[in-house]
């Protein structure tokens, strides 16, 4: 603590003034010593309740990266209004996840890292700590009570599906939902929590606009994607008016080879190598798509809460999905240790620009549009992907086997569970 002294001007009472100043100085020094001592005690006293579940070592076998501060000390002078939930650090946390692959039946095989034999478990023992405030852990019971008689939807691609599975796993610790709907390929689905009359859906629409897609389970395409940039996908727009809460996102699918259409006419493409169609790049399509999506939302006069989520980073190293890229890290990294890839930065810049333009229009129309900026939060979690453990015990027959790695989606349980902590905090406070 720094004390700012201001001495009185010299006059005929200077001797008295000097004595007074010395007295004040001695009192100040004593106070400073006392305050300094109390600061040393703060982590053990003031944070005893708030941080009681943290540890410097998650398990006996999995070492914690030493650069993370396990105290989670916060700025006590920061108000709730100054809190940036998306700016923080991953800190050690000794408590086990609230669910496992055995207790939750909603985890798809290729996100079931524990069930598929991933040998390390340290990636499970971290929690997100905003730097200037406290983030309460997700409470399934509190969430369901708050969402009574409401309808949620997560709208987008396989990351949205990854997220809805995480949310269902956490909510199922309170009540098991009933599966009430699925499309032909089980990509769009809906569940119902009868005790709370609460519905939650995942709506499969990887481009958010009308698209013809030709690819298999492993993402191998037999033809270019055909995207109609001026036609929003009715899979989500038809349900939009009846939703109380939704999280809308897209991203990586725009990197695929595609031909772009407007008014039924091809206007450009990305990597299509066709002489009669100009190469305009994925940025062209992404910007136009998000512009149209955001305009639709901002001008809709919808009275629910709408989140737009930024695209998530992948952590392929020494290659990409299609040419042998891997992700072998087993602990979080420091902020700045991993740079956002150029292509991810382009996607993010377009997202932030289009959101900024639309949010002003939305505010004028009474539309509650909020940004979920999870990009940097997950950038420092290269340890949270399935990697080769998207398959069941991939090295059981050959320890040197070459297998497909998944460094895009997230293990369940895993870092993506933290999204639910933040979303509940924002949704509850926004009401």
Residues belonging to the active site: 158, 406, 409
Distance of CA 188 to the CA centre of its chain: 21
Three-state DSSP string of 81-92: HHCCCCCEEEEE
Q: How far apart are alpha carbons 305 and 179 in whole angstroms?
A: 24
Q: How far apart are alpha carbons 165 and 150 in whole angstroms?
A: 18
Q: How far apart are alpha carbons 247 and 227 in whole angstroms?
A: 22
> What is the secondary structure of 183-233 as a DSSP string?
-TTS-SEEEEETTTTEEEEEEE-TTSEEEE--B-TTS-BSS-EEEEEEEE-
The DSSP code for 102 is T
In the structure encoding, which two tokens stand for residue 53, read together?
């579940």
Strand positions, DSSP E, 47-163: 88-92, 126-130, 151-156
* CA proximity to 420, closest of 428, 186, 348, 359: 428
Q: How far apart are alpha carbons 30 and 20 in whole angstroms?
A: 16
The total number of residues written for the chain in this structure? 431
In the structure encoding, which two tokens stand for residue 305, read together?
């809460």
Q: How far apart are alpha carbons 222 and 182 in whole angstroms?
A: 26
In the structure encoding, which two tokens stand for residue 251, read together?
């991203």
| Strand (E) or helix (H) holding 258 | strand 258-262
Angle at 216 between CA 167 and CA 284, to 5 degrees: 80
Q: Which residue has the tokens 């190293």?
A: 317
């Amino acid at each position: 603590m720094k004390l700012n002294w201001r001495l009185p001007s010299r006059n005929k009472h200077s001797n008295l003034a000097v004595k007074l100043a010395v007295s004040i100085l001695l009192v100040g020094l004593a106070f400073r010593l006392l305050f300094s001592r109390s600061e040393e005690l703060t982590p053990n006293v003031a944070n005893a309740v708030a941080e009681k579940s943290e540890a410097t070592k998650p398990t006996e076998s999995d070492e914690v990266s030493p650069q993370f501060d396990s105290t989670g000390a916060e700025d006590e002078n920061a108000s709730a209004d100054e809190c940036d939930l998306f700016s923080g650090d991953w800190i050690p946390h000794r408590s086990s996840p609230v669910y496992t692959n055995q207790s939750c039946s909603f985890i798809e095989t290729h996100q079931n890292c524990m069930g598929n034999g991933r040998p390390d478990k340290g990636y499970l023992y971290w929690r997100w700590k905003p730097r200037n405030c406290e983030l309460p852990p997700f409470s399934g019971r509190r969430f369901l009570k708050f969402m009574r008689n409401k309808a949620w939807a997560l709208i987008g691609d396989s990351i949205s599906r990854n997220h809805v599975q995480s949310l269902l796993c956490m909510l199922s610790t309170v009540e098991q939902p009933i599966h009430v709907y699925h499309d032909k390929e089980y990509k769009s689905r809906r569940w119902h929590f009868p005790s709370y009359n609460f519905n939650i859906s995942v709506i499969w629409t990887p481009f958010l606009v009308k698209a013809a897609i030709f690819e298999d389970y492993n993402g191998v395409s037999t033809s270019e994607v055909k995207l109609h940039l001026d036609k929003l996908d009715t899979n989500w727009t038809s349900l939009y008016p009846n939703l109380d809460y939704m999280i809308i996102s897209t991203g990586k699918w725009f990197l695929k080879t595609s031909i772009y259409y407007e008014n039924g006419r091809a206007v450009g493409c990305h990597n299509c190598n066709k002489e009669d169609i100009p190469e305009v790049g994925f940025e062209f399509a992404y910007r136009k798509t998000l512009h149209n999506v955001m305009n639709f939302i901002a001008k809709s006069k919808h009275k629910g809460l709408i989140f737009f989520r930024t695209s998530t980073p992948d952590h392929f190293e020494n290659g990409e999905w299609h040419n042998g890229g891997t992700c072998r890290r087993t602990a979080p990294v420091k902020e700045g240790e991993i740079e956002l890839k150029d292509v991810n930065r382009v996607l993010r810049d377009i997202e932030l620009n289009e959101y900024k333009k639309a949010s002003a229009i939305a505010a004028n129309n009474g539309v509650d549009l909020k940004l979920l900026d999870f990009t940097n939060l997950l950038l420092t979690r290269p340890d949270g992907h399935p990697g080769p453990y998207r398959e069941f015990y991939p090295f059981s027959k050959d320890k040197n086997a070459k297998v497909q790695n998944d460094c895009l989606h997230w293990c369940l349980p895993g870092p993506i569970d933290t999204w639910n902590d933040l979303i509940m905090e924002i949704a509850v406070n926004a009401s």
